[in-house]
Structures are given as C-alpha cells and as structure tokens.
Amino acid sequence: MSGQRVDAKVVMLGKEYVGKTSLVERYVHNRFLVGPYQNTIGAAFVAKPIHVGEKIVTLGIWDTAGSERYEAMSRIYYRGAKAAIVCYDLTDSSSFQRAKFWVKELQNCEEHCKIYLCGTKSDLVEDDRSMRKVDFHDVQDYADEIKAQLFETSSKSGHNVDELFQKVAEDYDQLYSFQQMTEEKGVDLCQKKNSTFYACCHH
Amino acid sequence: MAADVHNSKVNWDIQNESLAPIDKLRIERSDSPTPGIVEGTEPGAAQEKAMFVHTQSFEDLTAETRDTVDGDQEVESCDLTKLSNDLSQLSTHLLGQEEEQGEAEEKGEDQKVEMFDESLASVTSQDSSPCGREDICDITSDAWRNQRKHVFVLSEAGKPIYSRYGTEEALSSTMGVMMALVSFVEADKNMIKSIHGDGYKVVFLRKSPLVLVSVARTRQSEQELSRELCYIYYQIVSLLTITQLNQIFERKQNYDLRRLLAGSEHLNDNLLKQLDRDPGFLLSAVTCVPLAVSTRDIITSSLQAAKAKNLVFSILLAGNQLVSLVRKKDQYLHPMDLHLLLNLVGSSSSFREGEGWTPICLPKFNPSGFFHAHISYLDSSSDLCLILISTSREDFFCLSDCKHRFLERLWRRNAFQNLLEALQTPTYPVDLVGIPELRHFVYKSKSSGLYTSPELPPTYLVDEEQERLMGLYQYLHGRIHNSRNPLRYIYHCGQRENLLAWVTSGFEMYLCFSPLGTKVLAMNTVTKLLKWIRKEEDRLFILSPQTY
Ligand SMILES: Nc1nc2c(ncn2[C@@H]2O[C@H](COP(=O)(O)OP(=O)(O)O)[C@@H](O)[C@H]2O)c(=O)[nH]1
Ligand SMILES: [Mg+2]
C-alpha cells in the first residue's frame, strides 16, 4: 500500500469565488496566486501533515468547486468529513447566505462533522472598512448558535490561516485520542473503521 | 450512474480485423508504402487493435441527415419576405450592415462552388484582433462585429446560454431574432441549416434542447462550421449529461442554463480557440509526443500494472500531446471525447493545485452517464498530466493509489527521467524529411486515429498566420470530405503557398509547399514523405496500444 495515509478528512465549502482554493494554497504551499480567476473543477484533494504537540496529524483537505453544477455530487466530498471549513467572503453578503445553506446541509447529513466558519479576504475590509458586507458580531452570534468556531482570514496576507488549520487539527486530535481511549476499553469499534481514510483496493 | 456500456460502437472492432488481419500486418508493412495502401497497413497504423473508436469526418452530421430524410422540399415554400426581414435584422446586429440578398438553404450543403479567394482570407485574418473577454463586451463596437467567428448557444425557448464574445445579456435581442428565425422556418417543417450572406455564413445546429449558431467570415464550409458547433454541444453535455439536460428543460422550458454552467465559459472559449488552431480537432485525431519505443513501452506497461477494478482509461498527456493510453479490454475511447478531456485539462490550472476529482461525461461513449476522473500532474514543473477514468464515484483513493504505483514504477525503471528529457524536444522540424519545398504537413493514420505534424516554420508562427494556414487546411478538409462530392486529392495553388490534400482508405494528409513547388513535385513528395514516416513511425505513433 503506497498511497498516503490520511487521519482527518476536512472539506472546504462555500460559494464560488469566496476564496476556498486560495485558502488551501496559502496553507499548503504558503503562496497566493494572482492572475485570472481559475474556478475549481469538481474538487481537488491535498494531504497535509501537521504537528500537534509531539504528534503528526495528516489532514486530507477537499477543496470543492462550490458551483451549482456539482451540488448533487457534493455529498461525496463531505461524507465522513471530520471538519468542514465553511467559507464566505467578507465583502459579499450573498456568500454568507450561501454559507448558511451549507451549514444546514451538514447538520442534516453529517452530524459528526465539526463546523468552522471562515470569513475570507479580511485584507480587503482592513484597507477599506466600507467594503465589509458581513458584520462580525452577527456571524459570531450565528456561530454560537450552531456551535461553530469563527475565523476571519486573509489568504493574501496569510492572516489567521495557519491558526485556522492548526485549530482544526488540534480539535481532531483531542477527539481522536479520546476515541482511542474508548477503543482500548473495547467500546467504539465501528467508529475506528470510519476514522481513517485508506486506499480501498487490493490487487 | 456508471457509464458501463459501450453500446453499438463495438462492432467496428471486427470490421478493422477483417480489413487488416493481425497476423498479416507485419508482413504487409512495406518500407516504401504506396499511396494505394489499405487501411491498417499505412504508416502509423496500430499493429493490434487501435485504441480509438474509428471515426469519419462529419460523422455526427451525416448520421443526422440520414435520420431526418422527411422534409426534402425547397425553401421557397415559406414566406420569403418575412424571412428576409428577420435576416436583415440579424445581420445588422451582427455585422453592422444591411443585408440585401441573404440566401437560406435547408438541409442541403452549400451548392455554390466557391472560388477560393486569397485576398478575402487575408482580409479576414486581419480582423482577428486578440481581445480578452472583457474588452469586447460592447456589442455595438466595431471590434465585436469584426470578430471572425461568433458562436452562440441558446435554449429552444430563446434564452441565451453562451456567447463567444460579449456578454449573453447584451446579446439577448440578437439571440431572440435567431430563435425567431429558427422557429419560423421550422413551422414550415423545414429545418434551417444555414444562411449564406455577403462574405459570411450563419450556420444553425439544432440539438434539442439546445440551438447552436455560428456566424463566420471564414472560408470554412457549412459542414465544417456545424462540426465545430457539435463540439460545443458535446462540451456542454460533458458537464451535465444529456439526461440532466433534457430533464432540466422538461421541467422548466425557460430555465436559465447559465446557472449550471457558471464558470465553464472558458472551456468553450478554449475549445473554439483549439478548433481554430489544432489540426487534431479537424482530423478527429490526436498526436503523440515523439518518444523512443523503449521509453514508451515502460510507461505503457507501468500504466497497465497500475490498474484497478473500475478503471476504464489511463491517459498520460504532455500538454496537448499523448504520451500513452491504456484502456479496459473492449472499451474504446472516441477521439472527440479525448479532445474534451484535453480541453478540460488545457483550460484550467486548477488541476495543478492537488489531485482533481470530478464527474465527467464522455458524450461519445455514453451521453447519459458520468465517469469520474482523477486528474493530476506528475510533477509541478512539467506538463505531464495523468488522467485516470473510473466508473465509480467512490474510487478517488483507489485511483490516487494507482497513480503512486505508476510513479514508483517509472522511477524504479528510470523512465521518468527519460520522459522528461524527451519532452525537451516535443516536436521536430520539417527539414528532417529532406524536401526543401515542403514547409509543413499533417498526416493522419486512419486506423490508429493518430496524426503527426512537424513544428510550424517561422513564417507561420504568429497567431494570424497559424490560423490562416489552419484555415487553408480546414478549407481543403471541407472540400475533400464534402459528402456530396468527396474527392481523393486536391492540389491548390495560392499566392503564398501551394497545398496538396490527399485522402485514401488508410491515411489522410495535408501538405504545404512554398509557392515555388510544382504539382509534380507535390505528388512525388507524397511517396517520399510516406517513406519517411514509415521509418519514424515507432517514435511518432503508438503502434501497440495496450489494455489492462
Ligand atoms: N484580496 C484578497 N483576494 C482574495 C483572497 N482570497 C481569494 N481572493 C481572490 O478571490 C478570487 C477567488 O478566489 P478562489 O480561491 O479561487 O475562490 P474559490 O472559488 O472559493 O476557490 C481570486 O481572484 C482570488 O485572488 C484574499 O484573502 N484577499
Ligand atoms: Mg476554488
């Protein structure tokens, strides 16, 4: 078996153009690509190992397209996800409405998935406060209500990006080590099967 | 849904065998092939079964005419004054001038024998100023009107879906007029196929629930333009499947399809650009990276070994060129489907980001089902892109594992390094053939569906000149395959170059000579070129395509 081992599946959700791909690019490759917009086709996967204390947790990050065309397919991307980073663009209020749609979708279909709300392009609203179209406190209230964590990030400057993913990994690790303990007591066996992603075929 | 049936296409396979029995093939491969050679023995022919479905020029269009033989009446039967009113409105919109005598033809081909007019070709190519999407949104501007080829897609309810230049909104009225034209002529049970005006053609392609329109000032035949529209149609189907497309419009006739196609405009843009430039799209063929047989064999066997249960095709590309293709036994890829894959990969840098995983319909294989494609680059600095196509949407990690096993094998056998080295020279100069007057050629082996072509000489390197040369090839292709009057060869003398087009049952070639070349020389070149290609065929073609 040569495929890489992934501990936690993380899915990026949100309307097209909010900056999901840029967020992953910044986190994984520490770069911000300028140039004409390249919409994601289907979804893109990257595996990223990350230090949590002494341990290494490998996040398997699914960057989805967010377009309506793939909506029927989106379940295959978030099924079994341990964490979802639901993105909205701080300068586009419609993108926050869309974020709420994804939250509902996750609450209905993926109840074990932890939700992280992420307001993107914070550099734009820092430069010019009138650009902000989504109020921080409104979102904070909403986040409390759905028991989600809230981050505002900029992929351009890198602001808060590492912190977001670090938090995702730490939360997962806490839950996972807890699960291991329960496994040792022989309780939660079927949970173990789902918690790792492995290549599926044998030859 | 799993696209697991290849329906009627399989029987071609048997046909091919009867044409060229496998065991005899090697013996019949003469070193000095003559132009009369049969399919399966021409230079570049595959030794065993080919990897592609066998195709014919204009197969989509000719198949259709056969289906609809009913309305053979002439267009006179409809109210010509109403028609010409609509027409002048349309041409004013598109070309900014009143059109006096438009001429509509139904179902038939262009019957006028068109004289090839060199001056016109050069005038039109000047018009093609390379503008970005944004610059030309103003549809009243001259720049917009002067574009050489407009392409529109609309729904049967007349809703705009795609426009090559300018925004669809701005064009709503133009699209409305087009739809009125289409439905007007259809009311009389005629199908409007094309309108020939002064220096331009308007070609309609009805593919329910879509209507596609091309307005061109090029020398392309109506068939040629319809075929391009067909590509755009299939591009849209490949994103949605025909089932979904039909369902959507059955549920809601005036649905705005742009919602579902959002972000895919550049796929159509890029496809149209390829159609203007890439001879492969013209010939329903693909070209291979020139590669030593030993290297290609290792790559192919590594692809073979990295198999999985639901894997149907493994395709390794270097840019627009094929490195290797391995398929499931009894499953053949259609060149058009491969072109759509090339277009998908070529239009987006999104697959460089990580491992891509996307549903995709290959309309020629099965227009109603999705495959699932794993698309990734082998390394960040090269153009080597691996496409693994599976029937299962659950297969991502399985295919990801296939990719790793493939790469491991390549590394272990040093083939990766050899491949990268070969990619330093992905083309060859025409001088290698040793015919001074020969400037360029395109040669397609019909049975393998592969073509080869040298790099463009310096005179044709600028965009306009490249498109002009392609325009000449397109013009000859259209004439030689004219379904009413197919020809075997055409020798064409122009001011700036002479061309020869030659089609046999085994191959198809287009040669471009300096204007000093003569017809006799051109004819002699054919033999010499065939001999050269035979000598090089191991490197230029994939002679032994493999299955898993
Ligand atoms: N100023 C600024 N622009 C951003 C930021 N993140 C993304 N963008 C831009 O927003 C557009 C969409 O980004 P992308 O990541 O492709 O969005 P996606 O469709 O959600 O994947 C691109 O033009 C990016 O350059 C950011 O943090 N700051
Ligand atoms: Mg994206």
Which chain B residue's Cα is nearest to A21?
B353
Considering only residues B114 and B490, tell me which one the structure prediction assigns the higher pLDDT: B490
Helix (H) or strand (E) holding B323: strand B321-327
Report which DSSP code applies to B433: G
Find tokens 């840019």 and name the residue.
Answer: B319
Does the interface ipTM go beyond 0.90? no
Decide which of B192 and A23 is more confident: A23
Which of A2-6, A8-12, A193-197 bottoms out in mean pLDDT, i.e. has the lowest? A193-197
Residue B78 binned pLDDT confidence (cut-offs 50, 70, 90): very low
d(CA B346, CA B383): 10
pLDDT band at B32; cut points 50, 70, 90: low
Listed residue (B500, B518, B489, B495) closest to B440, CA to CA: B500
- SS3 labels along B152-189: EEEECCCCEEEECCCCCCCCHHHHHHHHHHHHHHHHCC
User: What is d(CA A189, CA A180) in angstroms, rounded to the nearest whole number?
Assistant: 10
Instruction: State which of A13, A18, A22, A85 you would mutate to test the pocket of ligand 1, scoring each by most atoms of that ligand within 8 A of its C-beta.
Output: A22
Kindly identify which residue of chain A lies nearest to residue B397, measuring between CA atoms.
A199
CB-closest option in A16, A39, A200 to B350: A39
Test mutation, B241, B358, B407, chain A, max A CBs within 10 A:
B358
Instruction: Determine, for residues B353 and A24 on separate chains, whether the beta-carbon distance falls below 8 Å.
Output: yes
Q: Is the pLDDT of residue B407 over 90?
A: yes
| Pocket around ligand 1 at a 6 A CB cut-off | A 16-22, 37, 39-40, 66, 120-121, 123-124, 154-156
What 3-state DSSP class applies to B485? coil
How many whole angstroms from its chain centre is CA B122?
24
pTM to 2 decimals? 0.83
What type of residue is A164? Answer: L
Question: Which of A16, A44, A201 comes nearest B401 by C-beta?
Answer: A201
Predicted local confidence at residue B37, as pLDDT: 64
Q: In the prediction, which pLDDT does B263 show?
A: 83
Three-state helix/strand/coil letters over B52-97 = ECCCCCCHHHHHHHHHCCCCCCCHHHCCHHHHHHHHHHHHHHHHCC
Residue appearing with tokens 């083309």: B427
Residue of A63, A65, A201 with shortest CB distance to B398: A201
d(CA A62, CA A64): 6
Q: How far is the CA of A18 from the centre of ligand 1 (A)?
A: 6
Contact of A155 with chain B, judged by CB distance below 8 Å, is answered with: no
DSSP H stretches of helix in B413-487: 415-422, 463-480
Is the CB of residue A24 less than 8 Å away from at least one CB of chain B? yes
The pLDDT assigned to B460 comes to 92
pLDDT in tens, B119-165: 333 223 333 333 344 444 555 566 656 677 889 898 888 888 898 88
The helix-helix angle for B293-305 and B415-422 (nearest 10°) equals: 130
Pairwise CB contact (< 8 Å): A3 & B394: no
Q: Where are the alpha helices (DSSP H) in B188-278?
A: 222-240, 242-251, 258-261, 265-277
pLDDT tens figures, B261-296: 988 888 999 999 999 899 999 999 999 999 999 999
The domains located in chain A, with CATH, are: 8-197 (3.40.50.300)
Q: Which of B235, B311, B357, B389 to mutate to test the interface with A (most CBs of A within 10 A)?
A: B357
Average pLDDT over every residue of B201-226: 87
**pLDDT at res. A68:** 84
Select from B260, B394, B397 the Cβ nearest to the Cβ of A69. Answer: B260
**Cβ-defined contact of A67 to B262 (cutoff 8 Å):** yes
Query: Would you place residue B326 in the very low, low, confident or very high pLDDT band (cuts 50, 70, 90)?
Result: very high
pLDDT at residue B344 greater than cutoff 90: yes
Under 8 Å between Cβ of B346 and B235: no
Neighbouring C-alpha atoms within 13 Å toward the C-beta of B280:
27
> Are A88 and A120 within 8 A, CB to CB?
yes
* pLDDT at A140 (0 to 100): 96
Q: What is the mean pLDDT of residues A179-194?
A: 47
| Residue given tokens 């790469």 in the structure block | B407
Distance from the Cα of B228 to chain A's closest Cα (Å) equals 24
For B224-238, the pLDDT digits (tens) are 899 999 999 999 999
Contact predicate B370/B360, CB 8 Å:
yes
Which of B443, B462, B447, B457 has the alpha carbon at shortest distance from B529? B443
Q: Express each pLDDT in A63-120 by its tens digit.
A: 999 888 888 778 888 899 999 999 999 999 999 999 999 999 999 999 899 999 999 9
Q: Is residue A16 within 8 Å of A39, Cβ to Cβ?
A: yes
Q: In terms of pLDDT, which residue wins out, B323 or B21?
A: B323
d(CA B300, CA B169): 48
E-only strand ranges, chain A: 8-13, 43-52, 55-64, 83-89, 114-120, 149-152
Tell me if residue B356 falls in helix, strand or coil: strand
- Angle of helix B265-277 versus helix B222-240 axis, rounded to 10: 150
How far off is chain A from B362, nearest CA to CA, in Å?
Answer: 15
Mean pLDDT of the region B7-14: 30
Instruction: Provide the 8-state DSSP code for B352.
Output: G
Average pLDDT over residues A158-170: 96
Q: How far is the alpha carbon of A145 from chain B, nearest alpha carbon, in Å? A: 31
Atom of ligand 1 nearest to the CA of A16: 19
Ligand 1 atom nearest A87 alpha carbon = 20
Continuous segment of H or E residues that includes residue A144: helix A136-146
Among the residue ranges A68-72, B29-33, B101-105, the one predicted with the least confidence is B101-105
Q: At A144, is the pLDDT very low, low, confident or very high (cuts 50, 70, 90)?
A: very high
Neighbours of ion ligand 2 (CB under 5 A): A 21, 40
Q: Mean pLDDT for chain B?
A: 79
Residues in CB range of B194: below 8 A, 6 or more apart: B104, B105, B110, B201, B202, B203, B204, B222, B225
Backbone angles phi, psi at B491, to 5 degrees: -110, 125
Angle between helices A136-146 and A93-109 (to 10 degrees): 0
Name the packing angle between helices B222-240 and B335-346 (round to 10°): 70
- C-beta of residue B390 within 8 angstroms of C-beta of residue B374: yes
3 state DSSP class of A42: coil
B397/A94 Cα distance (integer angstroms): 34
